[in-house]
Every structure is written in C-alpha cells, then in structure tokens.
Structure 1
Amino acid sequence: MTTDAAIRPRRAELAGFLKTRRARLSPEEVGLPPAPRRRTPGLRREEVAMLAGVGVTWYTWLEQGRPINASGQVLDAVARTLRLDRAEREHLYRLAEATPLRAWDAATAVSDAVRGVLHGLDPMPATLINSRFDIIESNTAHLSLFAEWHALPCVHKNLLWCCVTEPRAREWFLDYEREIPYLVARLRSSYGRHIGDPSWEEDLRRLREISPEFAELWSRHEVAEPRDRVLRFRHPAAGELTFNRTELTFPAAAGLSIAVYTPRDGSTRERLRLTRTPG
C-alpha cells in the first residue's frame, strides 16, 4: 500500500511541474489578448482552466498537489493547453498517477534475436510494431525515411495515430485514402482480443475524440487480416518511392511483428539512399 508520506513528494513534484509549464506561456501565445503587467510571468490558473475546459477549482487543486482523481481525458486537455511535448506529457501522467500514454513501454519484452532481425534488415526500412500499431522500435532506414513526417512533435509513436493526426499525411502517403480504412479494419480485428482492456479502451476513446475521420471509420465495424501491401510515399529529398510492405511475425514474440518496406522497383531502390539523414 502506498503511504501518504510516499505520495506527498509526488504531489509536490506535480505542483512544481505544472507551475513552471504555465509560467513559460504568455497570453498571446495561446490566443488570449495581451494582459497588463503581471506580478508573475505566464498564464494564470484561471486561464489554463478556461482553455482546457476544466473547473478553476479542480485545476487549482491539481496544481496544489491535492489528492484528486485526474482522468486521461482531462490530463490530455491540460497537456494540450500547456503545449507539452511527448516527454512532458508522459511526466505529467506519471506524476498524476494516471493511465500512461503508452502501456507497452515497460511491459513489452523484445528479445535480442528480434532486434537483430530488425536492424539487420537495413538498408530496407523496417519497424517493430504490436497489434495496436504502436511503434516499439525502428531501424535506421525507417527512422530516416520518416524523419520529416511530422509537422508537429510526435507524441504517440503509433503508425495509425501518425497518419490520422498529422496534417501533412495525405501529401506524403499517396495511398492514404485506401490504406487508412484498411489499418482501422486491422485495428478492429485486433480489438476483438482486447475488449475491456483499459489501455485499449482509453486509446480508442482518445483517437475517436481527436480524429472525426477515425471515429467514422471505426463506426463501420469493418475487419481485415494482415496482407502484403504496395505503398507509395512522396519524400521531400527522394521524390516518389514505392514499396512492398510485408509483416514478419515471430512465434516466440506473440503480438509483435516487423513491418518491412522493400523497394518495389530499381528507381526506388536507388533513390532510397537520398532519405538517409546525416549522422
């Protein structure tokens, strides 16, 4: 059992963290009119609460480190308002003792053999994923290919989230309109084995809330099994690239697979080297 003496330092850390994140934002940065001179820098608690859509008293208690329940939905709103990056979001969740952004980070054990296959596939892009499309690990070629994919910081590290929440995805992913419904149908098939799992349910709730497109596709209840795919991407340095996408599974690593992107033609194979990032 966690004692109050053990909880107090965590609450104090949470209080200090929220205060400093609030202090670094000006009213102008979040779309509020310029404020007269203030005794302390940054946003007021009332302004954070208003922008996040939560009660002023609730947010004040959260920032004071009081013992209150903080749902993932409300913490998401606070995180967006304070413009937290991935590391900051995860820190907020840990301090608030809420469901983390990703439950697989600490729980998923990846053997050296699987890692060896993943990185041995280079220079072909490859990424290790689970049945929810969380990106567990990627090889250098995959990291280079998608290095400039995000206009905003990547928070979720998930193939599907990276598509439906990225404004530029349709510019890069030339088969977007065909492939996103397929990925959602794949996710629905996997969900059948995880119904009621709090981590899955929270993930799906968030994604439906963030992406009306996903919500509509999810409501169709379509399902699909893994199939080899032909995918085309437009890369800013290499131009249009066409790949055969294949998934490798491992009997000893249930639920994990490696998605491999093999150049489909000589032109793609030659220009793939142009995606490599320096270093």
Structure 2
Amino acid sequence: MSRNEDVKHFLTRRRAAVDPAEYGFVTTGRRVKGLRREEVAQLAAVSVSWYTWLEQGRSISISHGALQRIARVLKLTPVEQDYLEDIVFGHRAVPQSASRQLPKEVTAMVEALNPHPAFIRSANMDILYWNEAARNEIFDWSTVAKENRNSLKLMFLNEEYRKIIHDWDSAARHTISAFRSNYAAAKQAEEFEAVISVLNLQSADFRRMWNYHDVSKIGAGNKAIIDKNGHINRFTYTSLEIENLPGVFVLFYLKSVVEPPSAI
C-alpha cells in the first residue's frame, strides 16, 4: 500500500471515529459516521479543498501547524500524531534498517538477564537473539527457519505460535499497530515491505487487521503466554532501544507473581 493510500485511509477512519456532537454539529440526517470533511476543515482553519487533497494523499504544500490543528480536531493521540507526520512528511530520524551484527556486550546482557526471558528484536519485528529463559517460557525461535523468525509472521502464519498467545486477537492488533508505527518512521522500508508482502498473500486475518490503521508503540505492557500444560503465564515487559543500534530493541519479560490467598 502506498503512502498516499495510508494517509487517505488513516484520516478517513479517524474522522469517522469523532462524534460531531462534541463540536456542536447536528447529528441527524447524516449518511456516514463521524465528521464531514468540510467540518474538519472548518475546525482546523484550512480550506475544504486543501483538506480534501490532503486526505486524498495529493502532493500539496503542508505546514506542521496545519497538520497539528487537524490532529487536535481528530483527537489523535501523540503516537497517532507522530504516525500522521511520518506518512505525510516522510521519515523522522528514527529506526533505520537494523544491523544483524550484534555487539558481544549486547548479547551478553541478554544472557545475563536469565532466569528472566529477554530477546532482541528489530523494528520490523525480526527476532535477532534470545536467551534460554525466553526459549523456555516464550517461544523457541530456533525451531523455525531464519526468514520466519519475525513476530508478525509468527503471529499470523505459525499455528504453534498462535496457540500460545492468550487473547490472540488483541495481541495481534497491538503487534500490527506497533509494526505500522515503526514502518512509517523507518528510513529504509524494504524490510517492512517484505513482511507485509508475505502476510498480505498468506493471511486474511492480517489483511483485515492491517486495514484498521491502528498505531501504537511497544514501550511497556503486559503479555500472557499459554504454556505446554495449558496454564496462562502472565508477564510485564519493557522494550528498550539500544542507543548505538537504532531500530534494535531489547525486550525484557518479568513474570507476574500471583499471591496465594491469605489464611483465615
């Protein structure tokens, strides 16, 4: 999908998600949900034709100020606003194509995090390295071909991986939204587009969720993994970018401990 198509679908979906009543517009007699183009233009102090061209992904002169006003009208989150700027203006100076040569001190750090699961992942979701705890408690990436060691591919194309993800639908949407955000910011998009191409061909679920145009960041959160005995193990996780390796992240998982009930 082209950047122009990304702009079109993202703005259209976000416009449809805004309740016109919040801005005092009459809501009866509308054929579609959300704000009309002319209402966005009015609220953002831009011309209707200019906003229409922006939403169509045309090549027009765009200022940061105008785009920020539109973001406020559409009630975009900071992550969504970053994403909009990325797909409109191009790329920010963030994640580049990840180097596959990992320094020894970085892999040693991941090993030292045992007995806690930790692994290294690139911005396009390729898994580059993992420790024993990650292999035992998350997934053994050595069991799949190197070209398939990618969180997004595994999420949609690997049945074994899919079965271990508790609340798969929610987890899959979150993974796609983070991938999309990284993709928009990437200076070199080839590694992202290779993943998208494979998934578009092989997964109807991916095609459906990709069209939601959700965006998010993977910073910290919660993960639930189903082990081989059917037990749900819950983790909190943190993602840290390696300073001298833009677009390469260490993910650290900490198992949540459920306290036993107190004796009466």
Interval containing the TM-score (normalised by the shorter chain)? 0.5 to 0.7
1:176-215 equivalences in 2 (<5 Å): 176-194=168-186, 197-215=189-207
1:249 aligns with 2:241: yes
Cα offset, 1:229, TM superposition: 1.5
Structure 1 runs of 4+ aligned residues shifted over 6 Å read 148-154
Alignment-mate amino acid for residue 221 of structure 2: R
SS state of the match for residue 226, structure 2? strand
Cα gap change, 1:106 to 1:133, in 2 (>3 Å): closer
1:239 aligns with 2:217: no
Is the 2:153–2:195 contact (alpha carbons within 8 Å) kept by the matching residues of 1? Answer: no
Partner Cα distance (1:140, 1:199) in 2: 27
TM-score (norm 2): 0.55
Alignment-mate amino acid for residue 162 of structure 1: L
Is the 2:123–2:179 contact (alpha carbons within 8 Å) kept by the matching residues of 1? Answer: yes
Alignment-mate amino acid for residue 205 of structure 2: E
Residues 96-135 of structure 1: per-residue CA shift (max 9 Å, x gap):
xxxxxxxx99942211221121111011111100101100
Cα offset, 1:167, TM superposition: 2.1
Cα offset, 1:186, TM superposition: 0.5
Give the number of equivalent residue pairs.
164
Cα offset, 1:172, TM superposition: 1.6
Residue from 133, 157, 162 that aligns with 2:154: 162
Partner Cα distance (1:192, 1:183) in 2: 14
Gaps of 5+ in 1: 1-103, 268-279
Alignment-mate amino acid for residue 194 of structure 2: E
1:117 aligns with 2:109: yes
1:127 aligns with 2:112: no
Gaps of 5+ in 2: 1-95, 260-264
Matched with 1:54 is none
TM-score (norm 1): 0.52
SS state of the match for residue 207, structure 1? helix
Partner Cα distance (2:149, 2:241) in 1: 20
Cα gap change, 1:147 to 1:118, in 2 (>3 Å): same
Residue from 168, 173, 181 that aligns with 2:165: 173
Alignment-mate amino acid for residue 231 of structure 2: G
1:1-279 equivalences in 2 (<5 Å): 107-147=99-139, 155-194=147-186, 197-237=189-229, 239-265=231-257
Q: Percent identity?
A: 18
| Aligned-residue RMSD, C-alpha | 2.9
